[in-house]
Amino acid sequence: MRLFLRCFSALRGDGGGGVFLGVHEILERIKNEASAERERILRDAEEQAKQILEETKAYLEKRRLAVKMREEKRGEEEKMRIIRSARLEARRIKWSAEQEITNEVFENAKKRIREAKKNGFRGKSYDEILAGLVKEAAISILSPEHEMNAREDLEVLVSDEDANFISQSLLNKISDEISREKGVKIRLSLSKERINASGGVIVRRKDGKVEVNNTFEKRMERFMPILREKVARILLK
Amino acid sequence: MASEVAEALKQIRACEEEARRIVSEAREHAAKIVRDAEEEAERMKKRAREEERRLAEEIFQRFVREAEEEKERFLASARKDAEALKERARRNEEEAIEAVLEVLFGFKR
């Protein structure tokens, strides 16, 4: 439309004279303008296409950087998580080693009880060891308010195996010692009842109201926190 | 004269028609150029998505690999330390057993 108007106005301006020359010029001009328009349209399109591709490239580069940053952050977090878990695992390995050797100590200590029954321990025979445990249990049964000269009848319970190590004369000796040391009358007797334990004794009042369990299992259980600490200190020194 | 003018107008109209055709074709070609660029941009985006997935996986796996290597170093060192600890502890095992028996037998608390 624009080209047509231009041509028309050119014809009108010519005033009728020299029409043929004018026509050639007009035709030339139309061709030139069409050509120029064609070039402009294509140049614009090329420019637009170039811009589309450049913008896309820039956008993709930006997105690539964002992906890189996001993945590096995610990767770093995952790395930290793996390392944290590895540190925990490393601590668990060391802790397991400590537990393993500590448990070994307790297992071997249990085995050594059997040996102590045969050969004694630190120069003491097994019956002397049992006597010590009976004495300790009996004294702890006596209340501070125990009436002087009142007699306390206590019975001693042992396993079948340990019954061979305790005699009434030994219990009398212990009773005498306690009576002498604590100023109380005490009578210890061996119960016919047998207990299931690897060793040690239970001492209880005849009326059954109070008892002290000094079997090795119970002592192990009672002193376990102290023992674990002690064993760890010795093992890791 | 009238026929000359008519001829001139005819030529001009034909030329204008040709000019319109040229411009129209140029517009069509231009639209194609832009459309091609848009399609190429879409293809680039599609390729980029694939590439981003690959890049993401590659980056993530690189960190995981580094972490696994570090983890192995930690664990190897921990295992070595644990063995050394057990060896050292075993040298003191007898003393520890005796300490347990002292408590069990009522020698000490």
| Tens-place pLDDT, residues A132-152 | 999 999 999 886 665 555 678
The sheet with strand A185-194 has its strands ordered as A185-194, A151-158, A200-205, A211-215
CATH of domain A124-235: 3.30.2320.30
Q: Is B76 on the interface with A (CB under 8 A)?
A: no
C-alpha distance from A197 to closest chain B C-alpha (Å): 13
- pLDDT tens, position by position, for chain A (237 residues)? 344 434 444 444 444 444 445 788 889 989 999 999 999 999 999 999 999 999 999 999 999 999 999 999 999 999 999 999 999 999 999 999 999 999 999 999 999 999 999 999 999 999 999 999 999 999 998 866 655 556 789 999 999 999 999 999 999 999 999 988 888 888 999 999 999 999 999 999 988 889 999 999 999 999 999 999 999 999 988
Domain ranges of chain A: 2-55, 124-235
Which of the four pLDDT bands, split at 50, 70 and 90, describes residue B109? low
Per-residue confidence (pLDDT) for residue A108, from 0 to 100: 95
Partners of A214 on chain B (C-beta within 8 Å) are: 106
Inter-axis angle of helices B2-91 and B93-104, nearest 10:
70
Tokens of A111: 């085995």
Distances (CA, A) of B45 to A51, B32, B38, B57: 15, 19, 10, 18
- Contact (CB, 8 A) for A204 and A170: no
pLDDT digits (tens, 9 = 90+) for B33-65: 999 999 999 999 999 999 999 999 999 999 999
* Closest residue to A30, CB basis, from B19, B33, B34: B19
Distances (CA, A) of A225 to A104, A112, A192, A235: 16, 21, 33, 15
Which of the four pLDDT bands, split at 50, 70 and 90, describes residue B3? confident
Which candidate in A11, A12, A41, A229 is best for mutational testing of the B interface (most B CBs within 10 A)?
A41
Per-residue confidence (pLDDT) for residue A31, from 0 to 100: 92
Per-residue confidence (pLDDT) for residue A2, from 0 to 100: 41
Q: Cβ of B15 and A31 within 8 Å?
A: yes
Per-residue confidence (pLDDT) for residue A176, from 0 to 100: 93
> What is the value of ipTM here, to two decimals?
0.79
Decide if pLDDT at B108 tops 80: no
C-alpha distance from B22 to closest chain A C-alpha (Å): 7
pTM, whole model, 2 decimals? 0.71
pLDDT digits (tens, 9 = 90+) for B73-105: 999 999 999 999 999 999 999 999 999 999 999
C-alpha distance from B47 to closest chain A C-alpha (Å): 10
Tokens of B30: 């231009």
Per-residue confidence (pLDDT) for residue A24, from 0 to 100: 86
- Contact (CB, 8 A) for B31 and A44: no
Per-residue confidence (pLDDT) for residue A147, from 0 to 100: 57
Tokens of A66: 């964002």
Neighbours of B91 (CB within 10 A): 10
Which residues are CB-contacts of A153 (< 8 A; sequence separation ≥ 6)?
A187, A189, A205, A206
Which chain B residue lies closest to A7 (C-alpha atoms)? B12
Q: Cβ of B99 and A106 within 8 Å?
A: no
Per-residue confidence (pLDDT) for residue A223, from 0 to 100: 95
- Which helix (H) or strand (E) covers residue A191, if one does? strand A185-194
